Chains A and B, each alone.
Chain A
Amino acid sequence: MPGLFAYLVVAALVFAIGLFGVLTRRNAVGILLGIELMLNAVNINLVAFARWHGDVVGLLFAMFTIAITVAEVAVGLAIVIVIFRVRRTIDADRLDLLRG
């Protein structure tokens, strides 16, 4: 069984990959996927620490996060679909209505 440190490294890697996806993907769906990765990195952390401390509260938090993630993806995808209907594109570079 690997130690806590290994889990944390994996979580950090997953988080970094997710962030990279959020920052570089031009496709809105890709950005949502990046967000999913980042959230799951957090979940890995929560579960690892729960195990390390022998405390189930961390697990509970992980369950919450998963539930919220589901809701977030549902809302996020709905928004993406609406944007696509209105703008005929989901390219993040061209969604710049707030440009100063």
Chain B
Amino acid sequence: MANALLVLGLPLASFLSIALVRPLRRRGRAAGWVGITAMIVAHVEALRTWLGSARGTVILPWLPGDGGPMATVGLLVDNLSAPMLVLVTLVSLLVQMYSLAYLHDEPMPSLGRYYAYQSLFAFSMLGLVLSPTYLQMFVFWELVGLCSYLLIGYWYTRPAAARAALKAFWTTKLGDLGFIAGIVMLWSSTGTFEFDALFRMAREQTLPLEGLATIMFLIYLGAAGKSAQFPLHVWLPDAMEGPTPVSALIHAATMVTAGVFLVARSEPLFILVPGVLALIAGVGAFTALLAATMACVESDIKRVLAYSTISQLGFMMAAAGAGAPDAGFFHLLTHGVFKALLFLGAGAVIHAVGTNDIFRMGGLWRVMPQTGVIFVVGTLALAGVWPLAGFFSKEAILAGVWAGGRPGVFSVLALTAFLTAFYMFRVVFITFFGRGHPHGEAHPHEPPWLMRGPLWLLALLTVAIGLRFAIGGGGEHRPPAWLAALSLALAAGGFGLAWAMYGARWIPVEAVRRPLAAIDFLARRRYFLDAIYGAIYRGVMLGFARLIGWIDRYLVDGLLNVASAGTLRAGDALRLIQSGQAQDYVYGVAFGVLFLLVLAQWWRTP
């Protein structure tokens, strides 16, 4: 427990010292090293927590209430949060190191701001993971959302970044509304926010089932917003306006997985409402497929990765919905590692070339072989090639979905796995192979060691996790052999198609595009979802705002204007009474006294 508290406390200490000590904040590199040092220690402590056997809950009263505390806070270390701690601290640490090189052109004060955000984010995410109650989780959940907003909008002078930050904030906020409504309803029917108590009630079947489906659906809404599930996924591609390390940290490896984490954490409650679970699985699979199709036509390397993240989150959600949250959580961990690898690799490419457009890259394998190898490792892992980490987790998900008796979801996910391999190798072939392009002023070169170190570490981890399962046998329930063959075949198929289209150019791109013209048309326009949201925003929101504006301007203000004008008029009229002559006032006094005397006499003798 002390370890876990240290893991949580160090990023907070780092944030406070960077944010409050002005000289430190103004010297961005120093602030960076403070953050990195804190994360190194936090990571070591997280590893010790994970490897150690201490599991349990510490709960302290927080909000007082009648008969015991109304809400509690504390720390919860179990087999779900301990590995998550390791992942979060590891990716945070590597990203902070990487950022130091990636953002070397930034002015120092703004780099200090960046590291303050980074530390705050690490603190919030760790707090979320360690929360033993829904309420505490929600608090950190919102903090994480705030950090995401701040980091996407880090280059706030760029209008696109500012807009993307707002969009991310509002879209996830829509889901968060459901989340808070859900936990408040849950509280009002059970009287507690604590996971332990709620799960015990679920086990003992004393949990009131009435309205539970609504509650769990609302909680799922929060998860869907954070984990970019359809139809709340639109913010994630835009979030790529932030610096690339931020995309790697928040929008691939950690924050977006909070939704999956929430569903995995709440599993004992979700299994009581099979309808919601079916919805989660269906939406997850649909999201996975939809995002994969969009990734196939995208030409911005970071956006391809963003769509791929949405797609993989769909995988995890589908697994959680199909009754295999362990598989989803496993995929969350491995995906966190290799997606961070891919994003940081893409960052190295962007850093070297100076553009996000894959069609303006090409031939990078010769100038940046190390980055190329690293990127290919990440791609292989994401495509699910044996013996890399992604293969085992994706296979676990497919097996779980199959065992959960959802052939529809299973086939959609299988198709998506094929597309995953296709779009990732499409990027690899276009970016690293293919014809070289003139890069203008930029001279592509390998990144500095501070960027290469984290990349190699993540690549080694991706391989090591995979090998560990390849040798170790993957635990108790081994998926059937045909599934391994199928998923390898899908990956190979995707690879083959990408190679034939973009590597060897046997198949012209047009030949594939024409039969799929309708999907191509829709995918290039993001299925018009942004347009629909824009129309809703303009039509409903702005219309409503205009109505409110009219009411404010003409009814509320009008009432006040009438009151003030009436006062002025009355003053003008009453002014004429004042003659200024003392005798007139004496008349008033005399007759007033007379009147009162008569009145008193009259009242006294009824």
Contacts and interface: CB of A to CB of B under 8 A. Distances in A.
B583 A97 contact: no
A31 B583 CA distance: 9
A19 B591 CA distance: 11
B434 to A, nearest CB: 92
Interface in A18-41: 19, 22-23, 31
Nearest to B572: A100
Interface string B572-606: 00111111111100110010000000000000000
Q: Give the one of A19, A31, A96 with max B CB within 10 A.
A: A96
A9 to B, nearest CB: 17
B579 A96 contact: yes
A97 B590 CA distance: 22
Nearest to A96: B580
Contact of B586 (A22, A95, A99): A22
Interface string A80-100: 000000000000110111111
Contacts of A99: 578-581
Given A31-B583, A92-B583, A19 B578 contact: no
A31 B581 CA distance: 13
A100 B586 contact: no
B468 to A, nearest CB: 95
A92 B581 contact: yes
A79 B587 CA distance: 22
B583 A96 contact: no
B593 to A, nearest CB: 10
Contact of B578 (A31, A93, A95, A100): A100
Contacts of A97: 580
Contacts of B576: 100
A29 to B, nearest CB: 14
A23 B587 contact: yes
Contacts of B581: 92-93, 95-96, 99
A98 B580 CA distance: 4
Contacts of B590: 19, 23
A97 B578 CA distance: 10
A92 B581 CA distance: 7
B582 A95 contact: yes
B167 to A, nearest CB: 61
Contacts of B575: 100
Contacts of A98: 578, 580
Contacts of A31: 582-583
Nearest to B578: A100
A22 B578 contact: no
Q: Give the one of B578, B581, B587 with max A CB within 10 A.
A: B581
A99 B575 CA distance: 9
Contacts of B577: 100
A100 B590 CA distance: 21
A93 B579 CA distance: 10
Interface in A51-100: 92-93, 95-100
A31 B585 CA distance: 13
A23 B586 contact: yes
Nearest to A34: B586
A22 B579 contact: no
A22 B580 contact: no
Nearest to A25: B583
A95 B582 CA distance: 8
Contacts of A22: 583, 586
A23 B580 contact: no
A4 B576 CA distance: 46
A79 to B, nearest CB: 12
Nearest to B582: A92
Interface of B: 574-583, 586-587, 590
10 contacts: A23-B583, A93-B581, A95-B582, A96-B579, A99-B578, A99-B580, A100-B574, A100-B576, A100-B577, A100-B578
Interface of A: 19, 22-23, 31, 92-93, 95-100
Given A92-B581, A99-B578, A100-B579, 17 more contacts: A22-B583, A22-B586, A23-B586, A23-B587, A23-B590, A31-B582, A31-B583, A95-B582, A96-B579, A97-B580, A98-B578, A98-B580, A99-B580, A99-B581, A100-B574, A100-B575, A100-B576
